[in-house]
Structure 1
Amino acid sequence: MTSVTSPLEGRVIGLAAVPDPVFSGAMVGPGTAIDPVREPSAAVSPVDGVVVSLHPHAFVVVDAEGHGVLTHLGIDTVQLNGEGFELLVNKGDNVTRGQDIVRWDPAAVEAAGKSPVCPVVALEATADALSDLAEDSDVKVGDTLFSWK
Protein backbone atom coordinates (compact mmCIF):
# COMPACT_ATOMS: atom_id res chain seq x y z
CA MET A 1 0.00 0.00 0.00
CA THR A 2 1.28 3.43 -0.96
CA SER A 3 0.53 6.43 1.19
CA VAL A 4 0.22 9.66 -0.81
CA THR A 5 0.91 12.77 1.24
CA SER A 6 0.08 16.41 0.69
CA PRO A 7 2.54 18.33 -1.50
CA LEU A 8 1.16 21.63 -0.15
CA GLU A 9 -0.37 23.30 2.87
CA GLY A 10 -4.00 24.32 2.51
CA ARG A 11 -7.56 23.02 2.58
CA VAL A 12 -8.49 19.68 1.01
CA ILE A 13 -11.62 20.25 -1.08
CA GLY A 14 -11.96 17.02 -3.09
CA LEU A 15 -11.83 16.57 -6.88
CA ALA A 16 -15.53 17.32 -7.37
CA ALA A 17 -14.87 20.93 -6.29
CA VAL A 18 -12.09 21.52 -8.87
CA PRO A 19 -13.14 24.19 -11.41
CA ASP A 20 -12.17 22.00 -14.39
CA PRO A 21 -14.38 19.20 -15.76
CA VAL A 22 -11.44 16.94 -16.61
CA PHE A 23 -10.33 16.87 -12.98
CA SER A 24 -13.74 17.19 -11.29
CA GLY A 25 -15.02 14.29 -13.39
CA ALA A 26 -11.99 12.20 -12.37
CA MET A 27 -11.14 11.67 -16.06
CA VAL A 28 -7.43 11.89 -15.27
CA GLY A 29 -7.88 9.54 -12.33
CA PRO A 30 -9.20 9.50 -8.76
CA GLY A 31 -7.68 11.57 -6.01
CA THR A 32 -8.37 14.83 -4.24
CA ALA A 33 -7.51 18.52 -4.49
CA ILE A 34 -6.01 21.20 -2.29
CA ASP A 35 -6.89 24.87 -2.13
CA PRO A 36 -3.40 26.08 -1.13
CA VAL A 37 -2.47 28.81 1.31
CA ARG A 38 -1.81 32.02 -0.59
CA GLU A 39 1.90 32.45 0.01
CA PRO A 40 5.02 31.53 -1.95
CA SER A 41 6.02 27.96 -1.24
CA ALA A 42 7.45 24.82 -2.77
CA ALA A 43 5.26 21.94 -3.87
CA VAL A 44 6.92 18.76 -2.60
CA SER A 45 6.91 15.17 -3.75
CA PRO A 46 3.90 13.24 -2.36
CA VAL A 47 5.79 9.90 -2.58
CA ASP A 48 9.32 8.50 -2.84
CA GLY A 49 10.06 7.80 -6.49
CA VAL A 50 11.23 9.04 -9.88
CA VAL A 51 10.12 12.26 -11.55
CA VAL A 52 8.73 10.99 -14.89
CA SER A 53 7.04 14.21 -16.03
CA LEU A 54 8.03 17.73 -15.06
CA HIS A 55 6.50 21.03 -16.16
CA PRO A 56 6.33 24.35 -14.32
CA HIS A 57 2.61 23.77 -13.62
CA ALA A 58 2.58 20.00 -13.00
CA PHE A 59 4.70 16.97 -12.16
CA VAL A 60 4.35 13.21 -11.92
CA VAL A 61 6.31 11.02 -9.52
CA VAL A 62 6.18 7.22 -9.91
CA ASP A 63 6.87 5.16 -6.79
CA ALA A 64 8.63 1.77 -6.52
CA GLU A 65 5.30 -0.04 -7.01
CA GLY A 66 4.73 1.75 -10.33
CA HIS A 67 2.04 4.10 -9.01
CA GLY A 68 2.12 7.50 -10.71
CA VAL A 69 0.95 10.52 -8.74
CA LEU A 70 0.17 13.76 -10.59
CA THR A 71 0.39 17.07 -8.75
CA HIS A 72 -1.13 19.87 -10.85
CA LEU A 73 -0.36 23.38 -9.59
CA GLY A 74 -3.49 25.37 -10.29
CA ILE A 75 -6.01 25.15 -13.13
CA ASP A 76 -5.16 26.36 -16.66
CA THR A 77 -1.75 27.40 -15.34
CA VAL A 78 -0.10 25.95 -18.46
CA GLN A 79 -1.28 29.22 -20.03
CA LEU A 80 1.15 31.13 -17.77
CA ASN A 81 4.06 29.61 -19.76
CA GLY A 82 6.09 28.92 -16.63
CA GLU A 83 5.86 32.50 -15.37
CA GLY A 84 6.06 32.45 -11.56
CA PHE A 85 7.17 28.81 -11.33
CA GLU A 86 10.69 27.56 -10.59
CA LEU A 87 11.69 23.94 -11.22
CA LEU A 88 13.87 22.61 -8.40
CA VAL A 89 14.58 19.10 -9.77
CA ASN A 90 14.98 17.50 -13.20
CA LYS A 91 12.97 14.90 -15.05
CA GLY A 92 14.44 11.49 -14.23
CA ASP A 93 15.60 12.51 -10.74
CA ASN A 94 14.99 10.20 -7.80
CA VAL A 95 13.14 12.15 -5.13
CA THR A 96 12.01 11.49 -1.59
CA ARG A 97 8.64 12.26 -0.06
CA GLY A 98 8.67 15.88 1.08
CA GLN A 99 11.46 16.96 -1.29
CA ASP A 100 10.88 20.35 -2.96
CA ILE A 101 9.92 19.96 -6.64
CA VAL A 102 8.51 23.31 -7.85
CA ARG A 103 8.53 26.72 -6.18
CA TRP A 104 5.46 28.85 -6.93
CA ASP A 105 3.13 31.53 -5.58
CA PRO A 106 -0.58 30.59 -5.45
CA ALA A 107 -1.54 34.26 -4.85
CA ALA A 108 0.25 35.28 -8.08
CA VAL A 109 -1.57 32.50 -9.96
CA GLU A 110 -4.87 33.82 -8.61
CA ALA A 111 -3.89 37.41 -9.50
CA ALA A 112 -3.25 36.20 -13.08
CA GLY A 113 -6.88 35.06 -13.26
CA LYS A 114 -6.26 31.33 -12.75
CA SER A 115 -7.49 29.05 -10.00
CA PRO A 116 -4.69 28.02 -7.61
CA VAL A 117 -6.55 24.78 -6.69
CA CYS A 118 -4.20 21.79 -6.98
CA PRO A 119 -5.47 18.34 -7.96
CA VAL A 120 -3.42 15.41 -6.62
CA VAL A 121 -4.36 12.42 -8.74
CA ALA A 122 -3.62 8.69 -8.76
CA LEU A 123 -2.88 8.03 -12.44
CA GLU A 124 -4.22 4.89 -14.10
CA ALA A 125 -6.13 3.96 -10.95
CA THR A 126 -9.74 3.18 -10.20
CA ALA A 127 -11.64 4.93 -7.42
CA ASP A 128 -11.89 1.67 -5.44
CA ALA A 129 -8.08 1.38 -5.45
CA LEU A 130 -7.88 4.35 -3.04
CA SER A 131 -8.75 4.42 0.63
CA ASP A 132 -8.72 6.99 3.43
CA LEU A 133 -9.38 9.75 0.87
CA ALA A 134 -9.18 13.24 2.38
CA GLU A 135 -11.89 15.53 1.00
CA ASP A 136 -12.70 18.22 3.55
CA SER A 137 -9.95 19.12 5.98
CA ASP A 138 -7.00 21.40 6.55
CA VAL A 139 -3.66 19.83 5.64
CA LYS A 140 -0.03 20.55 6.23
CA VAL A 141 2.75 19.37 3.93
CA GLY A 142 3.23 15.64 4.53
CA ASP A 143 -0.27 14.88 5.87
CA THR A 144 -1.83 11.80 4.23
CA LEU A 145 -4.24 12.57 1.37
CA PHE A 146 -5.06 8.95 0.45
CA SER A 147 -3.72 5.43 0.44
CA TRP A 148 -3.31 3.42 -2.75
CA LYS A 149 -4.07 -0.29 -2.25
Structure 2
Amino acid sequence: MLSVRSPVTGAVVGLSEVPDPVFARGLVGPGAAVTPAHEPHDVVAPVEGVVVKLQPHAFVIADDEGRGVLVHLGIDTVRLDGAGFETLLDGAGRGQRVAAGTPLLRWNPADAWARGFATTVPVVALDAGEEAVTRAAVGEVTRGERLFQWA
Protein backbone atom coordinates (compact mmCIF):
# COMPACT_ATOMS: atom_id res chain seq x y z
CA MET A 1 0.00 0.00 0.00
CA LEU A 2 1.48 3.34 -1.10
CA SER A 3 0.46 6.46 0.82
CA VAL A 4 0.25 9.37 -1.62
CA ARG A 5 0.60 12.69 0.17
CA SER A 6 -0.80 16.05 -0.79
CA PRO A 7 1.70 18.23 -2.65
CA VAL A 8 -0.06 21.44 -1.47
CA THR A 9 -2.40 22.60 1.27
CA GLY A 10 -6.03 23.12 0.26
CA ALA A 11 -9.50 21.65 -0.20
CA VAL A 12 -9.73 18.08 -1.52
CA VAL A 13 -12.00 17.52 -4.53
CA GLY A 14 -12.67 14.42 -6.59
CA LEU A 15 -11.02 14.14 -9.98
CA SER A 16 -14.50 14.18 -11.52
CA GLU A 17 -14.75 17.82 -10.37
CA VAL A 18 -11.54 18.92 -12.13
CA PRO A 19 -12.37 21.32 -14.99
CA ASP A 20 -10.51 19.25 -17.57
CA PRO A 21 -12.07 16.20 -19.27
CA VAL A 22 -8.82 14.20 -19.35
CA PHE A 23 -8.49 14.35 -15.56
CA ALA A 24 -12.23 14.35 -14.82
CA ARG A 25 -12.79 11.12 -16.77
CA GLY A 26 -9.76 9.46 -15.19
CA LEU A 27 -8.13 8.94 -18.57
CA VAL A 28 -4.60 9.09 -17.14
CA GLY A 29 -5.53 7.29 -13.94
CA PRO A 30 -7.47 7.64 -10.70
CA GLY A 31 -6.58 9.94 -7.83
CA ALA A 32 -7.77 13.11 -6.17
CA ALA A 33 -7.27 16.84 -6.56
CA VAL A 34 -6.58 19.77 -4.26
CA THR A 35 -7.79 23.33 -4.68
CA PRO A 36 -5.07 25.42 -3.03
CA ALA A 37 -5.39 28.85 -1.47
CA HIS A 38 -4.31 31.67 -3.78
CA GLU A 39 -1.02 32.28 -2.03
CA PRO A 40 2.56 31.08 -2.63
CA HIS A 41 3.14 27.34 -2.20
CA ASP A 42 6.23 25.17 -2.08
CA VAL A 43 4.95 22.08 -3.88
CA VAL A 44 6.31 18.84 -2.43
CA ALA A 45 6.86 15.29 -3.68
CA PRO A 46 3.81 13.16 -2.84
CA VAL A 47 5.85 9.95 -2.57
CA GLU A 48 9.45 8.84 -2.15
CA GLY A 49 11.04 7.89 -5.43
CA VAL A 50 12.79 9.08 -8.56
CA VAL A 51 11.87 12.18 -10.54
CA VAL A 52 10.78 10.86 -13.94
CA LYS A 53 9.65 14.19 -15.33
CA LEU A 54 9.91 17.73 -14.00
CA GLN A 55 8.38 20.68 -15.81
CA PRO A 56 7.51 24.08 -14.35
CA HIS A 57 3.79 23.17 -14.11
CA ALA A 58 3.90 19.39 -13.51
CA PHE A 59 6.03 16.46 -12.41
CA VAL A 60 6.01 12.68 -12.12
CA ILE A 61 7.66 10.72 -9.30
CA ALA A 62 8.01 6.92 -9.59
CA ASP A 63 8.33 4.85 -6.43
CA ASP A 64 10.61 1.81 -6.10
CA GLU A 65 7.90 -0.45 -7.56
CA GLY A 66 7.62 1.74 -10.65
CA ARG A 67 4.28 3.33 -9.73
CA GLY A 68 4.19 6.86 -11.16
CA VAL A 69 2.38 9.72 -9.46
CA LEU A 70 1.59 12.78 -11.56
CA VAL A 71 1.12 16.21 -9.96
CA HIS A 72 -0.25 18.89 -12.30
CA LEU A 73 -0.35 22.49 -11.03
CA GLY A 74 -3.52 24.01 -12.41
CA ILE A 75 -5.31 23.30 -15.66
CA ASP A 76 -3.77 24.20 -19.04
CA THR A 77 -0.94 25.96 -17.18
CA VAL A 78 1.53 24.53 -19.68
CA ARG A 79 0.47 27.53 -21.78
CA LEU A 80 2.16 29.82 -19.24
CA ASP A 81 5.55 28.59 -20.52
CA GLY A 82 6.93 28.45 -16.98
CA ALA A 83 5.84 31.96 -15.98
CA GLY A 84 4.92 31.99 -12.30
CA PHE A 85 6.68 28.70 -11.48
CA GLU A 86 10.11 28.13 -9.94
CA THR A 87 11.99 24.83 -9.91
CA LEU A 88 13.57 24.14 -6.52
CA LEU A 89 15.76 21.17 -7.49
CA ASP A 90 19.30 21.57 -8.79
CA GLY A 91 19.62 20.87 -12.50
CA ALA A 92 16.77 19.27 -14.43
CA GLY A 93 15.82 17.05 -11.50
CA ARG A 94 15.21 14.09 -13.80
CA GLY A 95 16.61 10.89 -12.30
CA GLN A 96 17.06 12.51 -8.89
CA ARG A 97 15.86 10.53 -5.88
CA VAL A 98 13.60 12.50 -3.53
CA ALA A 99 11.88 11.80 -0.23
CA ALA A 100 8.17 12.35 0.21
CA GLY A 101 7.77 15.97 1.26
CA THR A 102 10.80 17.27 -0.66
CA PRO A 103 10.01 20.72 -2.12
CA LEU A 104 10.19 20.50 -5.93
CA LEU A 105 8.48 23.64 -7.23
CA ARG A 106 7.32 27.02 -5.98
CA TRP A 107 4.04 28.37 -7.34
CA ASN A 108 1.52 31.08 -6.56
CA PRO A 109 -1.93 29.99 -7.80
CA ALA A 110 -3.08 33.63 -7.63
CA ASP A 111 -0.85 34.40 -10.62
CA ALA A 112 -2.39 31.62 -12.74
CA TRP A 113 -5.90 32.56 -11.59
CA ALA A 114 -5.33 36.20 -12.58
CA ARG A 115 -4.43 34.98 -16.08
CA GLY A 116 -7.65 32.98 -16.35
CA PHE A 117 -6.40 29.50 -15.46
CA ALA A 118 -8.08 27.07 -13.05
CA THR A 119 -5.78 26.34 -10.12
CA THR A 120 -6.97 22.86 -9.12
CA VAL A 121 -4.05 20.44 -8.60
CA PRO A 122 -4.78 16.90 -9.85
CA VAL A 123 -2.71 14.14 -8.22
CA VAL A 124 -2.97 10.98 -10.30
CA ALA A 125 -1.94 7.34 -9.89
CA LEU A 126 -0.71 6.88 -13.46
CA ASP A 127 -2.02 3.88 -15.39
CA ALA A 128 -3.75 2.42 -12.33
CA GLY A 129 -7.23 0.94 -12.26
CA GLU A 130 -9.96 2.93 -10.51
CA GLU A 131 -10.05 0.36 -7.69
CA ALA A 132 -6.36 1.01 -6.89
CA VAL A 133 -7.07 4.33 -5.17
CA THR A 134 -8.65 4.06 -1.72
CA ARG A 135 -9.07 6.10 1.43
CA ALA A 136 -9.09 9.48 -0.30
CA ALA A 137 -8.97 12.39 2.12
CA VAL A 138 -11.99 14.68 2.41
CA GLY A 139 -12.28 18.33 3.39
CA GLU A 140 -9.06 20.23 3.95
CA VAL A 141 -5.62 18.68 3.66
CA THR A 142 -2.25 20.07 4.67
CA ARG A 143 0.79 19.72 2.44
CA GLY A 144 2.42 16.39 3.26
CA GLU A 145 -0.71 14.75 4.70
CA ARG A 146 -2.13 11.58 3.14
CA LEU A 147 -4.27 12.41 0.10
CA PHE A 148 -5.07 8.79 -0.86
CA GLN A 149 -3.80 5.23 -0.65
CA TRP A 150 -2.66 3.28 -3.72
CA ALA A 151 -3.31 -0.43 -3.24
Name the TM-score, length of structure 2 as normaliser.
0.96
Residues 1-149 of structure 1: matches in 2 within 5 Å?
1-89=1-89, 90-134=93-137, 136-149=138-151
Deviation at 1:27, TM superposition (A): 0.4
Distance in 1 between residues matched to 2:104 and 2:12, nearest whole Å: 20
Aligned length: 148
Runs of 4+ that moved beyond 4 A: none
Whole-angstrom distance in 2 between the partners of 1:131 and 1:26: 15
Aligned equivalents of 2:16 and 2:48: distance in 1? 27
Q: Which amino acid aligns with 2:12?
A: V
Distance 2:120 2:132 in 1: 23
Measure, in 1, the Cα distance between the counterparts of 2:136 and 2:107: 25
Gaps in structure 1 of 5+ consecutive residues: none
CA distance in 2, matches of 1:20, 1:72: 12
**1:140 counterpart letter in structure 2:** T
TM-score, normalised by the number of residues in structure 1: 0.97
Provide the identity percentage.
52
Q: CA RMSD of the aligned region, Å?
A: 0.8
